[in-house]
């Protein structure tokens, strides 16, 4: 294809996106669009899968049968999200095995928040309330993103995430209204998860390398700082309902901006965790790689069995 | 307690689902691929749902204010009545799957009979559970065939697991005093009547999976009477942790 032809295709492509048309797997797309989407969708899928670990770690210890059932269902939903996000990603011409390989080798990233440990039962509440809460803020705009399979997957994901967020809030509410010991457990979880949740919305706009292009492709509708502000403004009143204190002495309502001012985020910590040196990075990867390696003979057996079955069927047909 | 036999009978059924559900719950997020991870979590979820129905009923029978959680999480080691099979560890996927299949095949046959119970609550619970357990059994028997008739490695692994777990199958067909009393009243299932059909069916699946049916005649028992393997204590340590560390609280 000549350079001119490519330019013309690119122009048409940009116009389609501007008209809010969906791009489908068989449509022509710029290579950069394809690559950016593989990066973002797979990162999202990996986050779901790694995100199963901190919560999965509490399934056997959930305090009641009702909570155990709800937690199992939640972690199962996350596996389901991973499944349809990987499928959406595969429509861009990359296999799930390749994507796993990128995760396991450290080439692909996942949400840094899952590199923090889930230490007490209240963390199940805080993760649902704050982490899923921040995820929803990130994800709702993606229901209208330009790439069709991703947008459709996100509609399903968002419905379930908002259910998880309410479930997390409800765990916190029960603790906050419980015994002093329970309330203390809830406050401690909020103290530990608050700042990492703010970091989840990504680096500040001046440090975010992908924002501009992503906004153009509607992979992003608001900047990281806007999303973070939205999250804080929405969450502070919820903390008030719980009677818990957000661990930020500089948090203050700004009448003029009609928003909360908040304290400085420790970006050194953020980058340390992103670069692989958070409290749980090594353990999370060890768990994922371990499960994959231990499962190899099982996957091989399934393949071999399917092949044998197919061969038998063909023989019968002859 | 007026209805002690019925209470113990329900616990005998429900503890199997409780302990197996707990074992499967350990695996969540660590499966060989996403699909099996989801399936095992789903089976665990079904089993805990069943446990809740049984224990809510048992709580009513006890009539002393005991909740489903009290019954599930606040008994002592010797008071759990599950069979030894379900408490065996997730040594590898073959053991998990072998344990699942050997239990599912029994569970399905058991529920078919429990549907006929003269106790309407138990019959209704069985009716609800049977749909779920049919799926469990299809999943586990399909995987037995895949692993048996897959690669040499998978065949050796699943054969080893079946051979090791086989000694826990006979206990499924033992009766406690509560079982006998409930059978006499038309409430309980006479498990001794299921034994031949069980071994016939299990052998059929193993043969279809090109596996050997173990010939061992040495079996273990005790779970139904609260005499467990050493594994149970650790399972309970996790299951009961929150209720023991933070007693008398609402969650």
Give the pLDDT confidence of A88-99 residue by residue, as tens digits: 999 999 999 999
Q: Where are the domains of chain B?
A: 4-245
Greater pLDDT, A303 or A219: A303
pLDDT for A213: 83
d(Cα A175, Cα B69) in Å, to the nearest integer? 17
> What's the token pair of residue A5?
């032809």
Q: Which of A13-22, A125-134, B68-77, B157-166 has the lowest mean pLDDT?
A: A13-22
For the segment B13-43, what is each residue's pLDDT rounded down to a tens digit?
Answer: 999 999 999 999 999 999 999 999 999 999 9
Looking at residue A210, its pLDDT comes to 78
- Residue A23's SS3 state is strand
A254 three-state secondary structure: strand
From chain A, the residues in CB contact with B49 under 8 A are: 69
Closest CA to A190 of A270, A115, A126, A279: A126
Q: How far is CA B221 from the centre of its chain?
A: 14
Chosen from B41, B70, B234 to mutate, greatest number of chain A CBs within 10 A: B41
**pLDDT value, residue A216:** 85
Transcribe chain B into DSSP letters: -TTHHHHHHHHHHHHHHHHHHHHHHTTTT-SSSHHHHHHHHHHHHHHHHHHHHHHHHHHHHH-SS--HHHHHHSS-GGG----GGGGS---SHHHHHHHHHHHHHHHHHHHHHHTT-SSHHHHHHHHHHHHHHHHHHHHHHHHHHHHHTS-HHHHHHHHHHHHHHGGGTGGGG---HHHHHHHHTTSS--GGGGHHHHHHHHHHHHHHTT-PPP--------GGGT---THHHHHHHHHHHHHHHSTT---
pLDDT tens track for B129-184: 999 999 999 999 999 999 999 999 999 999 999 999 999 999 999 999 999 999 99
CA B199, chain centre distance (Å): 17
Mark yes or no for CB contact A302/B49 under 8 Å.
no
Of A215-229, B57-71, B87-101, the one with minimum mean pLDDT is: A215-229
Minimum Cα–Cα distance from B238: chain A residue: A61
Task: Name the average pLDDT for chain B.
Answer: 97
Is the minimum CB–CB distance between A287 and chain B shorter than 8 Å? yes
Are A91 and A149 in contact, with CB atoms under 8 Å apart? yes
* Rounded (5°) CA angle A223-A225-A229: 120
Residue A38: its H or E element: helix A31-56
The nearest CA of chain A is from the CA of B222 a distance in Å of: 24
Task: Say what the pLDDT of residue B249 is.
Answer: 96
Distance CA A32, CA A92 (A): 12
- Dihedral sign (CA A125, A127, A133, A136): negative
Give yes or no for residue B96 having a pLDDT over 80. yes
pLDDT of A207 reads 86
Give which of B34, B43, B157 to mutate to test A binding, by max A Cβ within 10 Å: B34
Write the DSSP assignment of B129-188 as a string of letters: HHHHHHHHHHHHHHHHHHHHTS-HHHHHHHHHHHHHHGGGTGGGG---HHHHHHHHTTSS
Residue B145: its chain A contacts at CB < 8 A? 305
* Per-residue pLDDT, B168: 98
CB A71 within 8 A of CB A55: yes
Q: Mean pLDDT over all residues of chain A?
A: 95
Query: In sequence order, what are the residues at sequence separation of 6 or more whose Cβ sits closer than 8 angstroms to the Cβ of residue A212?
Result: none
Q: Is A121 on the interface with B (CB under 8 A)?
A: yes
Of the partner residues B41, B55, B239, the one whose CB lies closest to the CB of residue A79: B41
Spatial distance between the Cα atoms of B197 and B242, rounded to a whole number of angstroms: 41
Four-residue CA torsion sign, A101, A105, A108, A110: positive
Residue A275 is classified by DSSP as I
Nearest residue in B to A51, CA atom: B29
Task: Kindly state whether A179 is in contact with chain B, defined as any CB-CB distance less than 8 angstroms.
Answer: yes
Establish if B156 touches chain A: CB-CB under 8 angstroms. no
DSSP strand pairing (A252-254 vs A259-261): antiparallel
Structure tokens at A98: 């390749």
What is the dihedral sign for C-alpha B66, B69, B72, B73?
A: negative
Q: Average pLDDT, stretch A221-246?
A: 96
Residue B27 half-sphere exposure toward CB, CA atoms < 13 A: 30
Chain B touched by A297 (CB under 8 Å):
yes
Instruction: Tell which residue, A211, A214, A246, A218, has the closest CA to residue A232.
Output: A246
Residue A25: per-residue pLDDT: 96
Segment B65-91, tens digit of pLDDT: 999 999 999 999 999 999 999 999 999
3-state secondary structure A146-175: CEHHHHHHHHHHHHHHHHHHHHHHHHHHHH
ipTM above 0.95, yes or no: yes
Q: What percent of chain A has pLDDT over 90?
A: 91
Residue with tokens 């933070």: B246
Contact status of A302 with chain B (Cβ, < 8 Å): yes
Measured CA to CA, the distance from residue A293 to residue A254 in angstroms comes to 52
Residues of B within 8 A of A67 (CB-CB) are 251
Yes or no, beta carbons of A60 and B34 under 8 Å apart = no
Q: Please state which of the four CATH numbers 3.40.190.10, 3.30.420.10, 1.20.1260.10, 1.10.3720.10 is assigned to the domain occupying B4-245.
A: 1.20.1260.10
The tokens for B229 are 């393997």
- pLDDT confidence of A215, banded at 50, 70, 90? confident
Q: At what angle do helices B4-25 and B93-114 cross, to 10 degrees?
A: 150
Buried b (16+ CB within 10 A) or exposed e, A22-51: bbeeeeebeeebbebbbebbbbbbbbbbbb
Q: Does B164 touch chain A (CB under 8 A)?
A: no
CA–CA separation, A37 and A147 (whole Å): 8
In the three-class reduction of DSSP (H, G, I as helix; E, B as strand; rest coil), residue A267 is classed as helix
State percent of chain B over pLDDT 90.
98
Probe site for chain B from A180, A302, A307, A311 (most B CB atoms < 10 A): A302
pLDDT at A277: 95
* pLDDT score for A214: 85
Binned at pLDDT 50, 70 and 90, residue B227 comes out as very high
% of chain A exceeding 70 in pLDDT: 100
- A121 to B251: CB separation less than 8 angstroms, yes or no: yes
Confidence of residue A300 (pLDDT cuts 50, 70, 90): very high
Q: How many residue pairs bridge chain A and chain B with CB atoms within 8 Å of each other? A: 138
Percent of chain B whose pLDDT exceeds 70: 100
- A109 close to B (CB below 8 A): no
Q: Residue A293: CB partners within 8 Å, gap ≥ 6?
A: none
pLDDT exceeds 80 at position A211: no
Using CB atoms and an 8 Å cut-off, which of residues 11-30 of chain B contact chain A? 22, 25-26, 28-30
Cα–Cα distances in angstroms (integers) from residue B3 to residues B9, B42, B62, B182, in the given order:
10, 33, 7, 10
Q: What's the confidence (pLDDT) of residue A191?
A: 98
Identify whether the C-beta of residue B28 lies closer than 8 Å to the C-beta of residue A62. no
Looking at the predicted structure, is the pLDDT value of residue A283 above 80? yes
Give every CB contact of residue B171 below 8 A, 6+ residues apart in sequence.
B83, B84, B85, B219, B220, B221, B222, B223, B224
Residues A273, A281 contacting (CB under 8 angstroms): yes
Report residue B115 as tokens. 């549907």
For residue B163, what are its two tokens?
A: 């051979």
Determine the residue among B20, B24, B28, B44 to mutate to test chain A binding: the one whose Cβ has the most chain A Cβ atoms within 10 Å. Answer: B28
For chain B positions 36-95, those within 8 Å of chain A (CB to CB) are 36-38, 41-42, 44-45, 48-49, 51-52, 55, 68-69, 72-73, 92-93
Could you give the CA distance from residue A291 to residue B29 in angstroms, rounded to a whole number? 8
pLDDT value at residue A280:
96
pLDDT score of A2 more than 90:
no
Give the pair of three-digit tokens for residue B54. Answer: 């049984």
Closest CA to B68 of B17, B124, B130: B17
Report phi then psi at A260, rounded to 5. -90, 135
Task: Verify whether the Cβ–Cβ distance B29 to A291 is below 8 Å.
Answer: yes
- Position B1 scores a pLDDT of 80
Query: Given this model, what pLDDT does residue A317 score?
Result: 86
Q: How confident is the model at residue A220 (pLDDT cuts 50, 70, 90)?
A: confident
pTM of the entire predicted model:
0.96
**DSSP letter (8 states) at residue A247:** S
Which has more pLDDT, A216 or A130?
A: A130
């Amino acid at each position: 294809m000549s350079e001119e032809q490519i330019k013309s295709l690119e122009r048409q492509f940009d116009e389609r996106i501007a008209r809010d048309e969906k791009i489908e797997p068989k449509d022509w797309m710029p290579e950069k669009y394809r690559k950016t989407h593989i990066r973002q969708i797979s990162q999202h899928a990996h986050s779901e899968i790694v995100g199963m670990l901190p919560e999965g770690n509490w399934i056997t210890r959930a305090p009641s049968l009702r909570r155990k059932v709800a937690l199992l269902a939640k972690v199962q939903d996350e596996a389901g999200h991973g499944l349809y996000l990987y499928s959406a990603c595969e429509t861009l011409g990359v296999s799930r095995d390749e994507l796993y390989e990128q995760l396991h080798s450290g080439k692909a990233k996942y949400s840094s928040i899952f590199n923090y440990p889930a230490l007490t039962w209240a963390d199940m509440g805080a993760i649902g309330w704050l982490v899923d809460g921040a995820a929803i803020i990130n994800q709702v705009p993606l229901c209208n993103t330009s790439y069709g399979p991703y947008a459709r997957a996100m509609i399903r994901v968002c419905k379930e995430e908002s259910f998880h967020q309410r479930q997390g809030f409800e765990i916190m509410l029960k603790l906050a209204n419980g015994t002093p010991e329970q309330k203390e457990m809830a406050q401690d979880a909020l103290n530990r998860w608050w700042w990492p949740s703010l970091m989840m919305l990504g680096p500040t706009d001046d440090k975010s390398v992908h924002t501009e292009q992503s906004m153009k492709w509607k992979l992003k509708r608001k900047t990281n700082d806007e999303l973070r502000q939205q999250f804080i403004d929405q969450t502070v009143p919820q903390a008030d309902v719980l009677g818990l204190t957000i661990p930020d002495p500089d948090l203050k309502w700004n009448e003029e901006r009609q928003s909360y001012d908040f304290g400085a985020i420790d970006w050194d910590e953020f980058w340390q965790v992103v670069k692989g040196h958070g409290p749980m990075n090594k353990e999370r990867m060890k768990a994922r790689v371990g499960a994959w390696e231990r499962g190899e003979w099982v996957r091989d057996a399934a393949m071999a069995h399917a092949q044998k079955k197919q061969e038998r069927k063909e023989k019968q047909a002859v | 307690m007026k209805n002690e036999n019925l209470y113990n009978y329900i616990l005998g059924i429900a503890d199997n689902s409780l302990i197996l559900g707990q074992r499967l719950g350990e695996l969540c997020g660590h499966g060989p691929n996403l699909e099996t991870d989801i399936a095992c979590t789903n089976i665990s979820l079904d089993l805990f749902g069943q446990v809740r129905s049984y224990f809510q009923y048992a709580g009513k029978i006890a009539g002393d204010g005991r909740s489903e959680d009290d019954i599930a999480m606040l008994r002592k080691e010797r008071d759990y009545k599950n069979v030894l099979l379900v408490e065996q560890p997730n040594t590898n996927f073959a053991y998990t799957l072998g344990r699942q299949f050997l239990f599912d095949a029994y569970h399905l046959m058991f529920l078919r009979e429990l549907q006929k119970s003269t106790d309407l609550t138990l019959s209704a619970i069985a009716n609800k559970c049977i749909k779920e357990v049919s799926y469990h059994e299809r999943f586990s028997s399909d995987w037995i065939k895949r692993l048996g008739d897959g690669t040499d490695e998978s065949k050796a692994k699943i054969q080893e697991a079946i051979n090791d777990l086989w000694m826990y199958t006979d206990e499924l067909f033992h009766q406690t005093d509560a079982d006998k009393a409930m059978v006499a009243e038309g409430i309980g299932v006479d498990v001794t009547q299921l034994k031949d059909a069980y071994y016939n069916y299990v052998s059929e699946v193993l043969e279809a999976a090109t596996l050997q049916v173990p010939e061992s005649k040495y079996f273990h028992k005790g779970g139904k009477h609260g005499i467990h393997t050493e594994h149970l204590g650790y399972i309970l340590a996790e299951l009961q942790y929150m209720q023991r560390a933070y007693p008398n609280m609402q969650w």
